[in-house]
Structure 1
Amino acid sequence: MNTGVVYTSGVAPGAPRVVLVTGGSRGIGAATALRCAQQGWDVAVNYARDAQAADAVCAQITALGRRALPVQADVADEAQVLAMFDAVDAALGPLGALVNNAGVVAENQRVADMTVQRLQRMFNTNIVGSFVCAREAVRRMSTVHATEAARRAGGGRGGAIVNLSSKAAVLGAPGWYVDYAASKGAIDTFTVGLAREVALEGIRVNAVRPGIIDTDIHASGGWPDRAHTSSALIPMQRPGRAEEIAAAIVWLLSEDASYTTGAIMDVAGGR
């Protein structure tokens, strides 16, 4: 019996496999960009400041036989985000996926000592930046609400979005960075809401919640060796690797996850 339901895993058959990875020049973002290339995606590698690192990731992508585009933008700045998406459109073609990975942490601090400036930086990057990037991706990928310009360029054929959350969203990170945890709690809610909003528009939306991962983001929070000194907190007794998080992200982008949307996947060594 024909029920009239159209089953779709995301990107329509034959659609370009172009993915934008925000914060793609280092850590989890870089590992994700490379794994995407290994799986046949052309990759736009976003960076905020370190052009040399983004160029190095792009060189590895092109060595794998895929197209790569380093593209600068601070995701907390809407004008820069708009310019970034326009650059991806022009250089690589219609977008098929977005990995909302760009984010910031701050030094360990109690809520009683946090300034409004710190909170604004945290929430503007981690929450507002993810919203605006997802908005622009939906405008390009939606089978129902894509802009006319996107359709003329070959878009409007569906896609997938993966947001980066954190196990801190569940644990709260007391005494470390409750603001960061709160920003990732917002990402969890955003993921579920957006997934349901665009479920009939050919777009799947999921999130990955990493635990303590051995990347250099801890240095920016003033605790460079945190991943290893905190191993006792993890049931598996070791920090995760960026490549392990990337594997989960790229699976959620793939056809193997065709019936998965609104999911939040813990990749945290049992923490």
Structure 2
Amino acid sequence: MGVTRNITVVTGGGRGIGAAICTRLASEGHDVVIGYRSNAARAQQVREAVEAAGARALTVEMDTADPDDVERLFDAAAELGPITGLVNNAGIVGPVGRLADLEDVAAVERVFAVNVVGVLLCARRAIRDMQGRGGAIVNLSSGAATLGSPGEYVHYAASKAAVDTITIGLAKELGPDGIRVNCVAPGTIWTEIHADPDRPNRIAAKAPLGRAGEPEEIAGAVAWLLSPDASYTTGAILRVSGGL
């Protein structure tokens, strides 16, 4: 009998933390399905890095808040075989500022559509595909979920608190089915998500470790939660935040 490979779907895999997760998983024997929103060239670069590591890869342009796109993503993944893992990484920050000053309500609604509804839609399909075989889901939350992000994006923090709750609820719901559900909550990481490119430098001064994190440091935590070493871990929210 051949060795069964891990097949993991990663949303928001075309850049930043998602790209680092894809390449790290490839190095650990995962075939990777890269969901991305808009930048096909960047997603293709990630795909090439995954393949250079000896793994198979697919790229799928999609919006996690669109149920039809989510179905397309997982239908494409099925071409590689039965999926074993999902990383719900796709997320957006939305407008920055004090809540009283925010005028674009649609932009706030979009944050919840991507960060909460998108997580639920992807998890729902992954659960259906994993039924009877087991698997693992890792959601990406944020240290903001417990810090609240006052003056910057309370709405984003609230959406990530919802991800924490989804993680705990699904871990309890799916444990009997052999599906583990965990969460990584990054602190301030050097990625393009920041409206102010210098924000990581400003926040780093407050962290006990004295610096912002790198995407690869988050990828390592995700890889561990998907690995056999975490076989007794479910419902965990692993904070990777430099001490904040």
Matched, 1:160 2:133: no
Letter in 2 for 1:170: T
Counterpart of 1:66 (choices 49, 55, 73) is: 55
Q: For 1:172 and 1:122, locate their aligned partners in 2 and report how far apart those are by CA, in whole Å.
A: 15
Report matched runs for 1:213-252 at 5 Å.
213-218=189-194, 222-252=195-225
Write out per-residue CA displacement over residues 30-67 of structure 1, whole angstroms, 9 at most, x where no aligned residue. Answer: 00000000000000111000010010011011111110
Q: Is the 8 A contact 2:5 2:29 kept in 1?
A: no
Matched, 1:255 2:228: yes
Displacement of 1:106: 2.1
Identity of aligned residues (%): 53
Report matched runs for 1:1-271 at 5 Å.
15-90=4-79, 92-114=80-102, 115-143=104-132, 157-218=133-194, 222-271=195-244
| RMSD between superposed Cα atoms in Å | 1.2
Match of residue 153 from structure 1: none
Letter in 2 for 1:110: R
Displacement of 1:116: 2.1
Q: Is the 8 A contact 2:95 2:108 kept in 1?
A: no
| SS in structure 2 at match of 1:266 | strand
| SS in structure 2 at match of 1:107 | coil
5+ residue gaps, structure 1: 1-12, 144-156
Q: For 1:108 and 1:224, locate their aligned partners in 2 and report how far apart those are by CA, in whole Å.
A: 13
TM-score between both structures, scaled by the size of structure 1: 0.87
TM-score between both structures, scaled by the size of structure 2: 0.97
Displacement of 1:15: 4.1
Q: For 1:85 and 1:75, locate their aligned partners in 2 and report how far apart those are by CA, in whole Å.
A: 11
**Once structures 1 and 2 are overlaid, which stretch shifts more, 114-123 or 70-79?**
114-123
Q: For 1:68 and 1:169, locate their aligned partners in 2 and report how far apart those are by CA, in whole Å.
A: 32
Q: For 1:240 and 1:188, locate their aligned partners in 2 and report how far apart those are by CA, in whole Å.
A: 21
Q: For 1:20 and 1:47, locate their aligned partners in 2 and report how far apart those are by CA, in whole Å.
A: 11
Greater Rg over alpha carbons, structure: 1
